[in-house]
Structures are given as C-alpha cells and as structure tokens.
Amino acid sequence: MLSLTLLTLCLAAGPLEKHMNEPRTITVSGEAELKVAPDEVTITVGVDSRDKDLGKAKKDNDERIKRIIAAAKNSGVEERRIATDRISIEPHYESSSYSGRGTSIEHYAVQRNLQLTLRDVGRFDAVLSAVVEAGANVVHDVQFTTTELRKHRDQARELAMKAAGEKAGALAKTMGMKPGKPRSISEGGGSWSASYGRRGGGMMTQNVMQMTAGPGPGSSDGAAGLGMIGVSASVTIVFDLE
C-alpha cells in the first residue's frame, strides 16, 4: 500500500516538474515602415472618342493617340516606355421605355489607354500637362514606384528586427530580467504602397517609421509634392529570458 502511494505521488509530480523545467521565453513583434522618394512614375491615360459614325470615332481616337505619343516623347518619355494598355470599341444603344434598351445605335465609344513610364519623376507635371493638352481626356492611374524596392525592404526588415529587440528589452526590464538569445524568428508579410501627395514626418520608435532622404518642399527639381512610397516589414521573435 505504501509503495503504491509513493508511485502515485511520483506520477503526479511528473507534469509539474516538466513545466518547471521549461525555458522562460518572451515573444515580441516588431514593425517598421520606410517612406522613400520614388524614382519612377507610371501614368495611365486614355482617350474616349464617341460618335454615331464608327469611322469618325475611330479616326478621332487614332489622331489623339498619335498626338499624345508625340507629346510624351517631347516631354522626356522614352519610346520604349510607352505602351498600349487597353483598346475597346463598344456600341451604345438608345434607351427604350419598354425594354430599357433600344434597337438603334446612339453612338460608338472607341477607347484606348496608354501607359507612360517616366524615370525622371521631376518631369511628372510637365508630362501629364502635355498629354492632356494633346488630347487625353481620361487619367486612369498615377503610380509612383522605386527601382530599389528590394533594398528598401531589406532596410525595413532590419529596422523591424531592431524594434523587436528594443521591445523585448523594455518588457523584460519591468520584470527585472533581460532577453537572451532568440529561439525563433518569423517574418510577417511585407508590403509597399504609394500615395499621391507627400506626407512628411516620422520618427524612430519601437514600431518604426522612418523617412529616407529625398527632395524637400523647397526642392527645385520638380519632384516636391509627389507621392511617397511606404515600404513595410514585420517580424516576430521568441527570446529566452535571463
């Protein structure tokens, strides 16, 4: 009976002893975002020509597109960076009070879009004005990008790692401890985004946002006021506690 009781006590103590021997860890996340100046911009413009006569609508569209391409080249866009994005020809019917659609054609809509990629972002305003004056009557999209996205992602990841380390140190200190070696590191999904209209500011914190060097509001290169690109990264790290 005594041996059975001792065996029961030993078995009961097993899970508790195992729990007490588990390493003490702290899990933290770090995030960082870089705001970088773009070095490339893609402008998608279009021509929407409408006429009851399909031939006239297409002729108007073709002539405007030719003028836009010429204006883009004269404004500094390389020919190899001018591409057709979309072409469509669509009949529009007269409305009917009975069926909602008549049988006779009211007009034809001929639409064609062009993508213009400019490496000198300082000429953005000049290019946009030139192609609108040349006949573009639709501006579909303006996308600011960077040709060094990979480099900026690496920098954002390094800042996220640093942010996680700072956070682990601050949390451990409140318990009279300090973080040791990392047990595991996992990376979250990074991202990048561009906005039209520069926003300033930014400071180094445990979740980091940092501005990279770029032309300021007083710059004379024509790039001031353009969209800044946000490049972000996040990591999760498990540290030992000492």
112-116-118 Cα angle (round to 5): 175
Fold of 23-38+148-241: Translation Initiation Factor IF3 (3.30.110)
pLDDT of residue 19: 54
* pLDDT computed for residue 116 by the predictor: 97
pLDDT tens digits, 8-36: 434 444 555 555 567 889 999 999 998 88
- Residue 74's nearest CA partner among 31, 44, 118, 35 is 118
Q: Are 138 and 223 in contact (CB under 8 A)?
A: no
Structure tokens at 144: 């600011």
Give the per-residue pLDDT at 15.
Answer: 55
Q: How far apart are CA 173 and CA 161, in angstroms?
A: 18
Q: What order do you get walking across the sheet with 138-145 strand by strand?
A: 82-93, 105-118, 40-51, 138-145
pTM of the predicted model, to two decimals? 0.65
Q: Do domains 23-38+148-241 and 41-145 have the same CATH topology?
A: no
So what's the pLDDT on residue 18?
53
Could you tell me the CA-to-CA distances from 208 to 94, 159, 167, 201, 205 in Å, in that order? 57, 7, 11, 12, 5
CATH topology of domain 41-145: Alpha-Beta Plaits (3.30.70)
Nearest to 118 by CA among 135, 87, 149, 143: 143
Q: Which residues of the chain have pLDDT under 70?
A: 1-21, 96-102, 190-227
Domain ranges of the chain: 23-38+148-241, 41-145
For the chain, give the longest Cα–Cα distance. Answer: 106
